[in-house]
């Protein structure tokens, strides 16, 4: 009987607790939707994290000024991971356990994202990554999505362009960062599909200041074109050294350097360099009937007016991540994590800065090769390759 009494006592207490919860829930209806983020705002990948954070803040302010989502305001909880995977892990733990965020939109680099995935999966929280590697969404993970085009798509785009120019032997020179290594591996994997042989495969360190030795080796390899997966100052030094050692073959850079900074750092040496990039960079070059034109033009104007600095595709990835989440919340009619996850997975025809997104249970990225435009640098600025 004592057992029965204690069960009853528990039930009563449970009911009281439930009532309290219900009361709290009513109050919560006015609570903001908490968008968690961890970005490399400082450190070597700051050129990714800085525009990403600025974009999230700008876009959230804008949405709040227009009345928020489902009558609730958005609140950004962002941490600076400095591009460090270990820090990223700690911050994601904090976002989930202490800040109790509704979604995580963040992870500037692949390393940070990979460190965060197990936590997001275990906690069952939608996680939209802003990092490049295909490994983030392949194999598909239930709670993990991403907005930037993958490095494999960049490789495909470049090889298609090389092939069109009659190249069958290409050389790779890549940095030693996570992005560089991942893209190098993807390119090596898919080169054969395009009938291209990689005749030289050189690397350089993240803080290296001279790549003439590697390029001299490439010069003797018989490569008809050279491709440089990497970001930061490395590709700019490669570009300058490339002209210095007298290489005249076409040079391809990756979407990792699709910012004006690369042109500024490389100077004249950047003339004729080709790279795949999102529509955002060339919004003014897009034909008027391009579906992405209104979106990218608006985002770009907003960003440049607010921060007085050039827009970059990386900020665009953050824009897409946030908007895909917001649209999913509207479609689901709640911030319930499981429902929102399903709604994100059902995203169809979202026109973003990175391309037109069609997600599915087997594709948590939803972009195809048309998301990339092949650009060539002419007279110190981008031009579209037809």
Partner 1 sequence: MGGAWLQFVAGGLTAGAIYALVALGFSIVYNASHAINFAQGEFVMAGGMSAVSLVGMGLPLWAAVPLAVAAAALVGLLVQRLALEPAQAGGRADVVTLIIITIGVSLFLRGAAQVLWDKGIHPLPSFSGSTPITVGGASIVPQSLWVLGGTALAVLVLAWFFNRTLYGKAMRAAAVNPLAAQLMGVSTRGVMRTSFALAGALGALGGVLTAPITFTAYDVGVMLGLKGFAAAMLGGLGSFGGAVAGGLLLGLLESFGAGVISSAYKDALAFVVILAVLFLMPGGLVGARRTERV
Q: Which residues bind partner 1 (CB under 8 A)?
A: 42-44, 46-47, 50, 202-207, 209-214, 216-217, 219-220, 232-233, 236-237, 240, 243-246, 261, 264-265, 267-269
What's phi and psi for 338, nearest 5 deg?
Answer: -70, -40
Residue 99 CB, nearest approach to partner 1 (Å): 25
Query: Terminus-to-terminus CA distance in the chain, angstroms?
Result: 84
Q: Closer CB to partner 1, residue 63 or residue 247?
A: 247
Q: Closer CB to partner 1, residue 141 or residue 260?
A: 260
DSSP code for 246: T
Both tokens assigned to 231: 């970001």
Residue 151: which of 80, 53, 257 has the closest Cα? 257
Residue 50 CB, nearest approach to partner 1 (Å): 6
Residue 263 CB, nearest approach to partner 1 (Å): 11
Residue 198 CB, nearest approach to partner 1 (Å): 14
Residue 309 CB, nearest approach to partner 1 (Å): 9
Residues 6+ apart with CB under 8 A from 338: 124
What's phi and psi for 78, nearest 5 deg?
Answer: -120, 140
Q: Closer CB to partner 1, residue 127 or residue 204?
A: 204
Q: Closer CB to partner 1, residue 173 or residue 356?
A: 173
Residue 303 CB, nearest approach to partner 1 (Å): 16
Residue 19 CB, nearest approach to partner 1 (Å): 51
Triad 10, 11, 13: Cα angle to 5°: 65
CA distance 386 to 240: 26
Enclosing H/E stretch for 318: helix 313-332
Q: Closer CB to partner 1, residue 43 or residue 68?
A: 43
CA distance 258 to 273: 11
* Torsion sign over Cα 211, 213, 215, 218: negative
Q: Closer CB to partner 1, residue 50 or residue 112?
A: 50
Residue 233: which of 209, 214, 252 has the closest Cα? 209
Q: Closer CB to partner 1, residue 45 or residue 326?
A: 45
CA distance 199 to 341: 44
Number of H helices, E strands in the chain: 12, 14
């Amino acid at each position: 009987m004592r057992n029965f009494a204690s069960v009853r006592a528990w039930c009563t207490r449970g009911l009281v607790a439930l009532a309290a919860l219900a009361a709290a829930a009513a109050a919560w209806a006015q609570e903001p939707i908490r968008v968690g983020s961890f970005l490399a705002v400082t450190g070597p990948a700051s050129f990714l994290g800085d525009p990403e954070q600025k974009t999230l803040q700008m876009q959230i302010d804008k949405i709040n000024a227009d009345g928020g989502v489902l009558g609730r305001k958005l609140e950004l909880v962002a941490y600076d991971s400095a591009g460090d995977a270990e820090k990223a892990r700690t911050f994601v733990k904090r976002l989930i356990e202490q800040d109790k965020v509704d979604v995580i939109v963040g992870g500037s680099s692949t390393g940070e994202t990979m460190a965060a995935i197990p936590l997001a999966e275990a906690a069952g929280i939608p996680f939209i990554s802003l990092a490049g590697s295909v490994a983030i969404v392949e194999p598909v993970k239930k709670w993990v999505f991403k907005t930037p085009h993958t490095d494999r798509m960049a490789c495909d785009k470049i090889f298609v362009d090389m092939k069109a120019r009659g190249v069958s032997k290409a050389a790779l020179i890549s940095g030693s960062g996570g992005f560089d290594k991942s893209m190098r591996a993807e390119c090596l994997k898919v080169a054969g599909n395009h009938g291209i042989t990689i005749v030289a495969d050189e690397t350089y360190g993240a803080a290296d200041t001279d790549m003439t030795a590697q390029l001299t080796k490439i010069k003797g390899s018989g490569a008809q074109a050279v491709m440089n997966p990497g970001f930061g100052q490395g590709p700019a030094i490669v570009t300058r050294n490339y002209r210095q050692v007298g290489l005249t073959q076409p040079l391809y850079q990756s979407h990792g350097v699709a910012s004006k900074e690369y042109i500024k750092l490389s100077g004249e040496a950047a003339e004729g360099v080709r790279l795949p990039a999102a529509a955002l960079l060339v919004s003014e070059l897009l034909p008027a009937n391009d579906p992405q034109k209104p979106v990218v033009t608006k985002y770009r104007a907003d960003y440049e007016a607010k921060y007085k600095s050039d827009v970059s595709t990386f900020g665009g990835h953050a824009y897409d991540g946030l908007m895909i989440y917001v649209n999913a919340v509207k479609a689901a009619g709640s911030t319930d994590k499981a429902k929102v996850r399903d709604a994100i997975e059902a995203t169809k025809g979202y026109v973003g800065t990175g391309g037109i997104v069609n997600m599915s249970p087997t594709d948590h990225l939803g972009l195809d090769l048309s998301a990339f435009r092949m650009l060539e640098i002419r007279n110190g600025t981008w031009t579209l390759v037809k």
